[in-house]
Amino acid sequence: MKTEICKKLKIDVPVFAFTHCRDVVVEVSKAGGLGVLGAVGFTVEQLREELDWIDAHIGDYPYGVDIVIPSKYEGMDDVDADTMLANLEAMIPQENRDFAEKLLKDHGVPAFPDDSGPKGGLLGWTEETARPLLEEALKRPNVTLIANALGTPPVEIIKQIHDSGRLVAALCGRVKHALKHKAAGVDIIIAQGTEGGGHTGDVGSIVLWPQVIDAVYPTPVLAAGGIGNGRQMLAAMSVGAAGVWTGSLWLAVEEAEAEPAEKQSYFDATEEDTVRSRSFTGKPGRMLKNVWTDAWEEKDSPGYLPMPLQGMITFDAMRRTKKYAGVGECQKVGFNPVGQVVGQINEVETVKHVMQRLLTEYVDSLERVNRLLEQE
């Protein structure tokens, strides 16, 4: 099942796994796919530590790094990071900070034990904060792909990545965004339907995938959003995708660093228990619906702020509810981004087993379709 992308990236199967867990990155790459580490949320020092660990355990296998440089965000015209941070912090109403903190306290979420983390809670949702993360990633010889999760990367960053010998990928949720990616020189376009976890648009995968594939041909397209088994992978490949980009699938595997209570929240959820909400980052992202997502929509809510302001006030909530996932009522206010395939995530599996299952189901489904053709 090797596609041209497999040959270019020197992987065995076109399965890409987005994850914030270094162990998952290593195991997916060792199983023949490409693990992609999400860098947003890390300081440069923290990302360096994660990449050092990956490099020490991955052997000669390739992997990728995902950064976030939105096309539009507050503060994008500021000339340097310190000025931008000061201006952004001045734009955040105290009412919004108080609202977020009250939600955490009301549900028994302990305070974080130290002040580590991105300065001001600025998670890397800007070009100024993403550039140092990119620089760190480009020092790693096994990093063969840099992906941008929101918007078309700036042309100078695309050139920098290309000059280093890597490929550039970028996500999109609309055809017009895919065309912008292609015009800018992006090598791989990831078309993510609304079913996907994290930031998504509102167009369904089975509609979006073939439209993007046709619009940007011959640029290869990875299908994302709603892929949790081999049957869904076959559906993506059958409409012309060069591979699949997966994320939710890896949230509750044995190697994932999530606390047991967080994993259990995925096992307990159905496909009807997610919602697209701006309540954590300021842009629509799909996550588990809970008290937190509901509260920001109520009449007494101060309303969410645009990116990156909302993320600056919710960064503390994200890390506190991750660290103390099983304490108090953390899961009622936790940040658990996941797609609608959460209804298929019902037990702990190893990464190796998930990869084997995907490919077995893919082959079984393909053979079933071929048998139907033989009956004609």
**pLDDT tens for each residue of 253-294:** 999 999 999 999 999 999 999 999 999 999 999 999 999 999
Q: What is the pLDDT of residue 79?
A: 66
Q: Are residues 61 and 84 in the same domain?
A: no
Model pLDDT, residue 289: 97
The 10 Å CB-count burial string (b at 16+, else e) for 76-107 is eebeebeebbeebeeebeeebeebbeebbeeb
Is residue 286 one of the residues assigned to a domain?
A: yes
Decide which of 25 and 74 is more confident: 25
Instruction: Name the pLDDT band for 223 (thresholds 50, 70, 90).
Output: very high
Residue 271, in any domain of the structure? no
Judgement on whether residues 313 and 354 belong to the same structural domain of the protein = no
pLDDT at 1 over 90: no
The dihedral through the CA atoms of 341, 346, 348, 350 has a sign that is negative
The CA distances from residue 322 to 34, 260, 284, 317, 325, in Å, are 25, 10, 20, 8, 5
pLDDT at 122: 78
146 to 18, 120, 133, 142, 177: CA distances (angstroms): 12, 25, 11, 11, 18
pLDDT digits (tens, 9 = 90+) for 321-336: 999 999 989 999 999 9
Are the C-beta atoms of 196 and 247 separated by less than 8 Å? yes
Residues 161, 14: one domain?
yes
Q: Answer whether 167's CB lies under 8 Å from 187's CB.
A: yes
More confident residue, 141 or 328: 141
Spatial strand order in the sheet of 285-288? 198-199, 285-288, 274-277
**Are 352 and 31 a contacting pair, CB within 8 Å?**
yes
Same domain, 211 and 328: no
Residue 265 domain flag: no
Q: Percent of the chain scored above 70 by pLDDT?
A: 99
Q: Is 170 helix (H, G, I), strand (E, B) or coil?
A: strand
Task: Based on the fold, state whether residues 108 and 234 are members of the same structural domain.
Answer: no
Handedness of CA 67, 71, 74, 75 (dihedral sign): positive
**Both tokens assigned to 341:** 């395939």
For 177, the enclosing helix (H) or strand (E) is helix 175-184
Is residue 150 assigned to a domain?
yes
- pLDDT tops 90 at residue 357: yes
- The structure tokens listed for 27 are 């195991």
Q: How many CB atoms lie within 10 A of CB 124?
A: 26
Same domain for 103 and 58: no
Amino acid letter, residue 373: L
Average pLDDT of span 293-315? 94
Which of 163, 168, 166 has its CA nearest to residue 152? Answer: 168
The angle at the Cα of 342, spanning 336 to 346, to the nearest 5 degrees, equals 110
Q: Which residue has the higher pLDDT, 83 or 235?
A: 235
Q: Are 345 and 247 in contact (CB under 8 A)?
A: no
Q: Do 110 and 145 fall within a single domain?
A: no
Verify that 325 and 296 share a domain, yes or no: yes
pLDDT band of 376, cuts 50, 70, 90:
low
**Integer Cα distance of 244 and 344 in angstroms:** 17
Q: Mark whether 168 and 210 lie in a shared domain.
A: yes
CATH number at residue 49: 3.20.20.70
| Mean local confidence (pLDDT), 285-308 | 95
Mean pLDDT is highest, among 86-100, 103-117, 208-222, for 208-222
CB of 266 closer than 8 Å to CB of 334: no
Mean pLDDT of the chain: 94
Evaluate whether residue 263 is within a structural domain: no
Phi and psi at residue 275, to the nearest 5°:
-150, 145
Residue 75: pLDDT band with limits 50, 70, 90:
confident
Predicted confidence (pLDDT) per residue in 165-203, tens digit: 999 999 999 999 999 999 999 999 999 999 999 999 999
Peptide bond into 218 cis (omega under 30): yes
Model pLDDT, residue 59 = 97
Query: What are the φ/ψ torsions at residue 37 (nearest 5 degrees)?
Result: -85, 125
**Is the residue at 149 inside a domain?**
yes
Domain containing 163 equals 1-73+125-257+346-376
Q: Is the pLDDT of residue 99 over 70?
A: yes
- The answer to the question of residue 216 being in a domain is yes
pLDDT at 184: 96
Q: How far apart are CA 61 and CA 11, in angstroms?
A: 8
246 and 149 co-located in one domain: yes
Total tally of structural domains belonging to the chain: 2
Asked whether residue 267 is domain-assigned, the answer is no
Asked if 84 and 222 sit in the same domain, the reply is no
The percent helix, strand, coil of the chain (3-state, each to 5) is 45, 15, 40
Q: Which two tokens stand for residue 155?
A: 């042309």
Quick one: pLDDT at residue 199?
92
Predicted TM-score of the model (pTM): 0.95
pLDDT value, residue 129? 84
User: Quick one: 50 and 108 in the same domain?
Assistant: no
